[in-house]
Amino acid sequence: MKAHRYRETTIRSYMDGLYSFFRFLTGKPIEEIKAEDVTRFNHDYILRNGYSISTQNQVISALKIFFKLNKLGKLNIEIERPRGEKKLPSVLTEEEVSALFQAISNKKHKTMLVLIFTCGLRRSEVINLKIPDVNSRLQVLEIRDSKGAKDRIIPITDDIIKFLQDYYREFRPRRWLFEGGKAGHPYSASSLQQVFTRAKEKSRINRKATLHTLRHSYTTWHLERGTDTRIIQELLGHASIKTTAKYEHVSRRLLRNLPNPFDNLKL
């Protein structure tokens, strides 16, 4: 999977799924595994233990890739994937987001969450930012090798740049924009999630929300202000290949002139 440039998080997730599957079939040679074994694993392990749809899909994908890349056996998995859930994403109001940020005293923690909300970043994207990825001259944030091995640019305002500069002057990171306790190493994903959870509790936001909710809230902020859906999808970096091809004609001028939720925050 590394040779095929899968991301480390994907590799770990698939390894966990494979470990559960092969432990379930303890002792059975790989060459003898059949589609019926996958069905049995699905019913007797995933469903019986109440695991999520995403876990079920993850294991199926992991098995397909495992047998394809390793060319072991001839497992033909014809198991039907579960129907996708159609839940509305949880979002926070501007007032709740402002309260969340005001509950954070640490400048580094606040800056990381502010970037997630004002740029619609994934958790992995913010912790993998490097110092040169902030292009103050062009007023863009450069996201490199994100989900799907895609690069993209996100416009940032003068106020966001100043906010980042203030953070940089205080913490002086060496390589990664946000470093953990050990200099020269990126901030921990789990620690960032804990930062959000503590801030949520301190700001007394009782509704269900995760770190990813800030990204959803960014999307909603733009939709409510009439930003073209195609531009939003480009900014988020989650479009299909066919859809992404349509975005090549979106000019950088349009991106730079986009309004940003940072302007209305009370920090």
How confident is the model over 87-131, as pLDDT tens digits?
A: 556 788 889 999 999 999 999 999 999 999 999 999 999 999 999
Contacts of 185 (CB under 8 A, 6+ apart): 176, 179
Tokens 């392990």 locate to: 45
Contacts of 79 (CB under 8 A, 6+ apart): 35, 38, 39, 42, 60
Written as one letter, the residue type at 176 is: W
Contacts of 232 (CB under 8 A, 6+ apart): 219, 222, 223
CA distances from 156 to 15, 252, 254 (A): 37, 12, 12
Residues that are catalytic:
122, 147, 212, 215, 238, 247
- What integer pLDDT is reported at residue 206 of this predicted model? 87
Tell me if 129 sits within 8 A of 176, measured CB to CB: yes
Domains and CATH numbers, the chain: 8-70 (no CATH), 94-264 (1.10.443.10)
- What integer pLDDT is reported at residue 42 of this predicted model? 84
pTM of the model: 0.69
Other Cβ atoms closer than 10 A to 213: 23
Question: In the Cβ-directed half-sphere of 256, how many Cα atoms lie within 13 Å?
Answer: 10
The ranges of the chain with pLDDT < 70 are 70-89, 147-149, 238-257
* β-bridge pairing 134-135 and 152-155: unpaired
The radius of gyration of the chain's CA atoms, rounded to the nearest angstrom, is 21
Tell me if 236 sits within 8 A of 215, measured CB to CB: yes
- Phi and psi angles of residue 237, each rounded to the nearest 5 degrees, phi first: 70, 30
- What integer pLDDT is reported at residue 218 of this predicted model? 85
**Sheet arrangement for strand 152-155:** 134-135, 140-143, 152-155
Listed in sequence order, the DSSP H helices in the chain are 8-24, 35-41, 53-70, 94-102, 107-119, 123-127, 158-171, 189-202, 213-224, 229-236, 241-246, 252-256
- What integer pLDDT is reported at residue 244 of this predicted model? 28
- What integer pLDDT is reported at residue 158 of this predicted model? 93
- What gap in Å lies between CA 177 and CA 249, rounded to an integer? 30
- What gap in Å lies between CA 116 and CA 126, rounded to an integer? 7
